Chain A
Amino acid sequence: MEYFLIAVYAFLILLGIGIILGVLLVLFSKIWEVKEDERIKEVEKMLPNFNCGACGKAGCHDMAVAIVKGEVSKLSQCKPGKKDKNYDPIIEYMSSHPDEDGTKHVPTI
C-alpha cells in the first residue's frame, strides 16, 4: 500500500510540474511570438518531415526557410523526398506564390 501511495505521489507531482511548466511555455510563446512568412509553414508541410538532416540543414523547418528565401536551387538535396509527392508540389507552390516585391524563387529538381 505504501509503495502504491509513493507511485501515486510521483505521478501527481510530475503531472503537476508538467502542467505548470506547459502553461508557462504557452504563455511565453504567446508573449514573445515571432511572425513568420506564411509560405514557410506551407512548404514545410510539403516536405517529408522526417527531420533527417540529409539536406544539410538542421531540419525540415530550416529547409523550408531556405526554400522560401531562394537559397535552395536543387530540391533533390532532400534525399527522402519523392518527385510527385514533394518536389512537384513545392515547385508549383513557389511559382504561384512570389515574394511581396514580385520576385520568384523557384527551385528545380
Chain B
Amino acid sequence: MNTTPYIYTFLLAIISSCLIDNVVLSRFYGICPFIGVSKKVKSAFSMGVAVTFVIILAALICWPLYHFVLLPLQIPFMDILTYILVIASLVQIVGLFIKKFSAPLYQSFGIYLPLITTNCAVLGVVQTNTDTALSFGLSMANAIGTSLGFLLVIVLFSTMRERIEEYNGNKAFKGVPIALISAAILAMAFMGLMGIGAK
C-alpha cells in the first residue's frame, strides 16, 4: 500500500524536474534564450522569471483545457495547436506588461521576448503533462520544477559568462565558442545529479 504523503511526491516531482532532469542541460529544451540572453545576470534573471511565469500559467490553463474541453469532445489531436495559441497569447501579454513597466528590460530582451513563444521548454512541459497523463497536481509540480530549473541554470550560466568575458583568453574562443564549451561543462556537472532517488 502506498502511504507516501502527497506533499512528499509533489516536492520530489519538483526537485526531479528541476535538478535531476534539468530542462536545459539534460533535456536540451530552451537553448535559444539560454545562449542568447545570458550575457548579463540581470537580464538573464528577468528572462528566467518571464519564462517561469509563462510556463506555470500555460500549464495552469492547458491542463484543464485538454481534460475538460479537448478530451470530452474527442479532439485530443488538436492539443499542440491549442497549446501554441495559449502560449503565444500569454507571451504577448507578458510582452505588453514588460513594455509598459520596464522599457529598458524590453530593450535588453529584444527579439528573445517574442521568441519565448517558440521556446520549446514551454511547449515541452505542457505536452509532457498531458502525454504522460499526469494528474493536475503533478503537472503543476512538473511546471514549477522545470521553470525553476530553467531560472537556476540561466542565472548560473550568466554568472559564469560574466566572469569569462573578463578573462583575456584565446581570441578564437572569445564570445559564443567559450560560452558553448562552458555550457557543456555545466551540463556535465549536472550529470552528477542523475540517479538521485533511484534505488
Contact with A along B72-87 (1 / 0, CB 8 A): 0111011001100110
Q: Does B11 contact A (CB under 8 A)?
A: no
Within the complex, which residue of A13, A14, A25, A33 is in contact with B89, where a contact is CB–CB below 8 Å?
A25
Q: Which B residues lie within 8 Å of A21 (CB)? A: 85-86, 89
Task: Tell me if A24 and B89 are in contact (CB < 8 A).
Answer: yes
Within the complex, which residue of A6, A9, A17, A28 is in contact with B82, where a contact is CB–CB below 8 Å?
A17
Q: Does A50 contact B (CB under 8 A)?
A: no
Given A18-B85, A32-B99, answer yes or no on A13-B75 (Cβ-Cβ < 8 Å). yes
Q: Does A1 contact B (CB under 8 A)?
A: no
Q: Which B residues lie within 8 Å of A25 (CB)? A: 89, 92-93
Task: Tell me if A9 and B75 are in contact (CB < 8 A).
Answer: yes
Task: Tell me if A17 and B75 are in contact (CB < 8 A).
Answer: no
Q: Does B181 contact A (CB under 8 A)?
A: no
Q: Does A10 contact B (CB under 8 A)?
A: yes
Q: How large is the interface on A (under 10, 10 to 19, 20 to 34, 35 or more residues)?
A: 10 to 19
Q: Which B residues lie within 8 Å of A33 (CB)? A: 100
Task: Tell me if A17 and B96 are in contact (CB < 8 A).
Answer: no
Closest CB in chain A relative to B80 CB, distance in Å: 12
Task: Tell me if A32 and B96 are in contact (CB < 8 A).
Answer: yes
Task: Tell me if A29 and B96 are in contact (CB < 8 A).
Answer: yes
Q: Does A54 contact B (CB under 8 A)?
A: no
Q: Which A residues lie within 8 Å of B103 (CB)? A: 34
CA distance A21 to B88 in the complex (A): 10
Task: Tell me if B93 and A24 are in contact (CB < 8 A).
Answer: yes
Q: Does B111 contact A (CB under 8 A)?
A: yes
Within the complex, which residue of B74, B93, B111 is in contact with A58, where a contact is CB–CB below 8 Å?
B111
Q: Which A residues lie within 8 Å of B86 (CB)? A: 17, 21
Q: Does B105 contact A (CB under 8 A)?
A: no
Q: Which B residues lie within 8 Å of A18 (CB)? A: 85
Q: Which A residues fall within an 8 A CB radius of B?
A: 6, 9-10, 13-14, 17-18, 21, 24-25, 28-29, 32-34, 58
